[in-house]
Amino acid sequence: MVFVVASLGAYGQNIIKGVLLDDEKGEAVPFAQVYLEGTNYWSSTDLNGYFLINKIPDGNYVIKVRYIGYEEYSEPVTLKHQTVTRNINLKPLSTRLKDVVITGNKKQERKMQTQVSVEKITAVQIQQMPSIGGQADLAQYLQVLPGVNSTGDQGGQLYIRGGSMIQNLTLLDGMVVYNPFHSIGLYSIFETDVILNADVYTGGFGAEYGGRLSSVMDITTRDGNKKHHVGKIGLNTFGSSLILEGPLKKEKNGSTSTITYLLSAKNSFLSKSSKAIYPYVDGGLPFDFTDIYGKLSINSGLGSKINFFGFRFDDRVNGYHSLSDFHWNNFGAGTNFALMTGSSSLIEGTIAYSKYDVNLDDGSRTPRYSSIGGFNMSLNVTNFMGLNRMRYGLNIEGYSTDYRYTNAYGVNRSQNENTTSFSAYMNYHVNAGKWLIDPGVRFVYYASIAEPSIEPRVSAKFNMNDNIRFKVAAGMYSQIVLDARSDHDVVNLFSGFLTGTGQLNLPNSFQGEPVGSCVQRAQHIVAGVEYDMIEHLTFNLEVYYKNFSQLLGMNHNQIFDRSDPAYVPGGVYEKPQYLMTDFIIEKGHATGMDISACYDLERLYLWATYSLGFVQRTDEVQTYNPHYDRRHTVNLLATYALGDDRQWELSGRWSFGSGFPYTRTAGLYESLTFGDGLRTDYTAENGSMGIYYGEVYGGRLPTYHRLDLGAKRKFSFGKRCLLELSLSVTNTYNRNNIFYFDRVSFARIDQLPILVCLGAHLKF
């Protein structure tokens, strides 16, 4: 996102625009300050390195650029009713800037952006984590963010401020990704070194995002190196990785256009290495995955660009205790572009297709299967108007779902559906002195069910002074997809995807009111304060309320088949709807408070968070806490660099979470099929084991806590060759955190024990 600052009283027609690039790699430099010395005209570059300053009066100026780790850029310019375009190459500093500059830049950014319920993450921040499993990963970093709850080492599931997994939108270069995490919770599907930026919105997000009720994770990858062919090889006791990148066409003969490639691959071979390295792990560690990503970038050299990208991500768990076989795969391809126009506008667009398939065979009745795939297209325009800016766009999504599952009572469920939606949005950023206001609205039309949705959004910040800032956000949200999972599993890796349509087996009423829509809806309100307590120390507090006014969920009370005429109204054994429908209508809410403190002083980085959350759901029968209702969450992170060139780095992370709810086992019984009808000899027939379930999510699992430690040592060889050795210890004091519980055998399976990992990465 581009943020432009200019004088309210200026109405000149002069424009300065261009792109900031790293002089050594040719990569875009995002979030750098470009300003006219001695004035209030300035801009912050976006993810593509693009900047634009407009409405500048005629006159003589000096263009200045400052950014952490680069030499200061300065250039005089004379403006007289013209547009000036500059492609600026910033030269990296041989020594680091002092930390006071770092603090000043971050503080300025917080003063110019509303930033309500959002964390902006870069690869550098991710790498400050202990390198669990040989390398730091986005999945590990997300688990320390305020408001984010994780199932832990195994499971790979995140729940954000009271929302379920399906209520989180994940975008990779503008493409929808349906499952971004592996079943071993230490890894996401994204390679850390190719991430340019990740914006994580935990609530109150703006009108440019839609289709989900709870949160957004928007990830952008960087382009390949424009100057040199380079790479990185990684190997550790968990797996291996490879990155290759470079120019296919360099700048030459006066042409500034370039073509670059970027390829990354990583895999886990834990199923093989764990047998030799971790023989004490009961049942082994059969978590294998393979991730491949590729990107081709064509840059005009004048700020415009087009990318082509594709990926394939696989995850496999074979023969792990009661989890017999689990397998999913993601694949997709797409293109996106950014076009600098001759006016004060930036045009961006995306066309992409992706698909996600998941299978789970745990030895019960029939395997569980789910598939979702589809396309998304978007076109976005940003207009710059001095202090203010307007962003608007269109979006089209189409996807199909295929779902098959048999519940605990032997009732078959399935759906095969196609869905299309159209949406348009507008955001307007207003900079009015101490106030920053971002009003917006999103219009969605769910074509498959012919239902519109109008969703206003707004966020605002008040800069009380240089150190204290108050902020607020509110909005309305909707979505049509829902997840399907068994409430009777203590821990469940499988979540299927379905579409809310008129064909879905839903009740006709909810709490006495007729059900007229299958669109799920929520409303958010967030308020908070940012406080720069002392230099280098920032404190952030947010409180939130999410009202889920209508939800669709699997019916954990279903016993009877709605298609049997004996059970329908007027039938011989008439039953209430809540015992027959596959799915139910629910409502609920999530309330909570997130506190974070960050201390960043040159070599020392400290990060601490505390989250308090309450989540409730109400169906036709009862009010309950869903499986992701965690009351207390604490995360502590510390990183310290040693040596003249900071070649040593020590890090540690401690996490604590109170217990998740689960459904207790009330008793066991022998289930007889009576295959011969009334002639069945029940005294001789062999039945199957049946389970009496207690109150839905009436119990609480034990608390979760874990300490991870890491150490890194860097060795430089020549100008571009760097060797990094790492040592990490996961679950340092060997805490037994529960992962799975077999109800029949009453056998408990824990998460990862203490694991020591050695790793090496070579950049060349």
Q: From 359, 275, 287, select the one nearest 320 (Cα to Cα).
A: 287
Task: Quickly state the pLDDT bin for 743 (edges 50, 70, 90).
Answer: confident
Share of the chain above pLDDT 90, in %: 38
pTM of the model as a whole: 0.87
Sign, Cα dihedral of 473, 476, 480, 486 = positive
Residues 43 and 181 placed together within one structural domain of the fold? no
Higher per-residue confidence, 147 vs 185: 147
Lowest model confidence (mean pLDDT) among 13-17, 186-190, 316-320, 367-371: 316-320
Instruction: Give a yes or no: residue 519 inside a domain.
Output: yes
| Mean pLDDT of the region 323-350 | 85
Which amino acid type is present at position 38? G
Residues 167 and 48 placed together within one structural domain of the fold? no
Angle at 314 between CA 311 and CA 317, to 5 degrees: 170
Residues 143 and 33 placed together within one structural domain of the fold? no
Instruction: Give a yes or no: residue 532 inside a domain.
Output: yes
Higher per-residue confidence, 590 vs 493: 590
pLDDT at 673: 61
Lowest model confidence (mean pLDDT) among 106-115, 550-559, 700-709: 106-115
Lowest model confidence (mean pLDDT) among 14-28, 445-459, 467-481: 14-28
| Mean pLDDT of the region 719-733 | 90
- pLDDT reading at 124 higher than 90: no
| Mean pLDDT of the region 121-127 | 82
Lowest model confidence (mean pLDDT) among 48-62, 469-483, 553-567, 736-750: 553-567
- Round to whole Å and give the CA distance between 722 and 724: 7
- Round to whole Å and give the CA distance between 659 and 595: 20
β-partners of residue 239 are: 268
Residues 648 and 671 placed together within one structural domain of the fold? no
Pick from 606, 641, 663: which residue ends a domain? 663
For 641, the token pair is: 């660099």
| Mean pLDDT of the region 27-43 | 82
For 566, the token pair is: 């004996």
CA–CA distances in Å: residue 69 to residues 40, 42, 65, 530, 653? 24, 20, 12, 26, 27
- pLDDT reading at 43 higher than 60: yes
Residues 368 and 449 placed together within one structural domain of the fold? yes
3-state secondary structure labels for all residues of 90-120: ECECCCCCCHHHHHHHHHHHHHHCCCCCEEE
Instruction: Give a yes or no: residue 427 inside a domain.
Output: yes
**Do 201 and 247 touch, CB atoms closer than 8 A?**
no
Instruction: Give a yes or no: residue 724 inside a domain.
Output: no
pLDDT at 12: 52
Domain hosting 689: range is: 664-697
> How many whole angstroms from its chain centre is CA 123?
14
Share of the chain above pLDDT 70, in %: 84
Residues 685 and 628 placed together within one structural domain of the fold? no
Instruction: Give a yes or no: residue 60 inside a domain.
Output: yes
Residues 387 and 493 placed together within one structural domain of the fold? yes
Q: How many domains does the chain fold into?
A: 3
pLDDT at 181: 83
- Round to whole Å and give the CA distance between 255 and 527: 50
Q: Phi, psi at residue 231, to the nearest 5°?
A: -160, 175
pLDDT at 749: 76
pLDDT at 621: 81
Instruction: Give a yes or no: residue 717 inside a domain.
Output: no
- Round to whole Å and give the CA distance between 545 and 613: 10
Task: Quickly state the pLDDT bin for 202 (edges 50, 70, 90).
Answer: very high
- pLDDT reading at 570 higher than 90: no
Q: What is the CATH number of the domain that holds 15?
A: 2.60.40.10
Q: What is the CATH number of the domain that holds 376?
A: 2.40.170.20
pLDDT at 253: 75
- Round to whole Å and give the CA distance between 400 and 310: 20
- pLDDT reading at 388 higher than 70: yes
- pLDDT reading at 402 higher than 90: no
Higher per-residue confidence, 285 vs 753: 753
Task: Quickly state the pLDDT bin for 97 (edges 50, 70, 90).
Answer: very low
- pLDDT reading at 7 higher than 60: no
Pick from 97, 126, 142: which residue ends a domain? 97
Higher per-residue confidence, 655 vs 282: 655
- pLDDT reading at 703 higher than 60: yes
Which amino acid type is present at position 488? H
240-280 residue pLDDT tens: 999 999 999 988 876 778 999 999 999 988 878 877 888 87
Task: Quickly state the pLDDT bin for 529 (edges 50, 70, 90).
Answer: very high
pLDDT at 536: 85
Residues 266 and 174 placed together within one structural domain of the fold? yes
pLDDT at 412: 65
pLDDT at 667: 79
Instruction: Give a yes or no: residue 719 inside a domain.
Output: no
Residues 592 and 510 placed together within one structural domain of the fold? yes
pLDDT at 380: 95
Instruction: Give a yes or no: residue 705 inside a domain.
Output: no
| Mean pLDDT of the region 424-428 | 96
Residues 37 and 141 placed together within one structural domain of the fold? no
Residues 683 and 593 placed together within one structural domain of the fold? no
Residues 171 and 274 placed together within one structural domain of the fold? yes
Averaged confidence pLDDT in the chain: 83
pLDDT at 530: 93
- pLDDT reading at 473 higher than 90: yes
| Mean pLDDT of the region 630-640 | 94
pLDDT at 295: 97
